């Protein structure tokens, strides 16, 4: 059995548990209010802003045993750089404040998720960044298109009218990225690296789910 299949089997319960979170389930099927969507984009901006730096943090610590992973991270950094500006475009398109998104921190669960990934890359195992990548790309490819459609319908806006560039584009892009990760993950045979990826994936699914709880992005709706 390939490690990619093992990764799916060992973390799919955490992925499926996302759908049982009331706010996330509602977002997938019924969308968000305009205020909620602006708050969600605020958190999303910070996730995306840190995406490349976290990959870079892992890449700098990978020795030649993980040369393929290091080069893949370099390539992904090139592909993903600047995508935080897409989120800012979406925030502006739906009447949010770009300046506020840049200046103010995300919700506490997202602060914790970001800190966890830097910590794992620096103090545990640099391959752990693949757990973050896997979680974000699976979520985007599985739910991104449906979420865009549901939110657009809820706020009375067409997806192609602006405000959904990041979610819509990554629904397609990240499906391709998951397929590419399948190839990369199969090259990792080191048990410690494999365990770090599984652990990171589980924790990232869990922390991402907390974003939809009482302490998540909804705390910004009245701000």
- Which domains, ranges and CATH numbers included, belong to the chain? 3-220 (1.20.910.10)
Work out the mean pLDDT of the chain and round it to a whole number: 91
pLDDT band, residue 20 (cuts 50/70/90): very high
Whole-prediction pTM = 0.93
Q: What is the mean pLDDT of residues 187-214?
A: 95
pLDDT for 175 equals: 57
Tokens in use for 48? 């995306």
Q: What is the mean pLDDT of residues 83-89?
A: 94
User: Above 80 in pLDDT, residue 64?
Assistant: yes
User: Above 80 in pLDDT, residue 78?
Assistant: yes
């Amino acid at each position: 059995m390939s490690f990619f299949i093992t990764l799916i089997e060992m973390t799919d319960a955490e992925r499926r548990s996302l759908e049982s979170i009331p706010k996330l389930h509602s977002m997938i099927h019924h969308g968000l209010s305009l205020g909620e969507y602006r708050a969600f984009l605020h958190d999303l901006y910070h996730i995306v802003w840190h995406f490349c730096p976290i990959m870079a943090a892992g890449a700098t610590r990978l020795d030649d045993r993980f040369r393929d992973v290091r080069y893949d991270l370099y390539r992904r950094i090139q592909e993903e750089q600047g995508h935080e500006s897409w989120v800012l475009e979406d925030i502006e398109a739906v009447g949010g404040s770009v300046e506020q998104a840049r200046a103010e921190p995300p919700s506490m669960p997202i602060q914790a998720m970001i800190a966890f990934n830097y910590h794992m890359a620096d103090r545990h195992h640099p391959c752990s960044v693949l757990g973050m990548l896997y979680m974000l790309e699976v979520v985007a490819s599985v739910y991104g298109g449906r979420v865009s459609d549901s939110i657009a319908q809820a706020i009375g806006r067409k997806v192609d009218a602006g405000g959904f560039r990041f979610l819509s584009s990554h629904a397609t892009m990240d499906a391709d990225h998951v397929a590419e990760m399948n190839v990369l993950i199969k090259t990792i045979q080191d048990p410690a690296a494999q365990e770090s990826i599984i652990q990171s994936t589980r924790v990232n699914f869990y922390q991402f789910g907390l974003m939809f709880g009482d302490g998540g992005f909804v705390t910004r709706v009245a701000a």
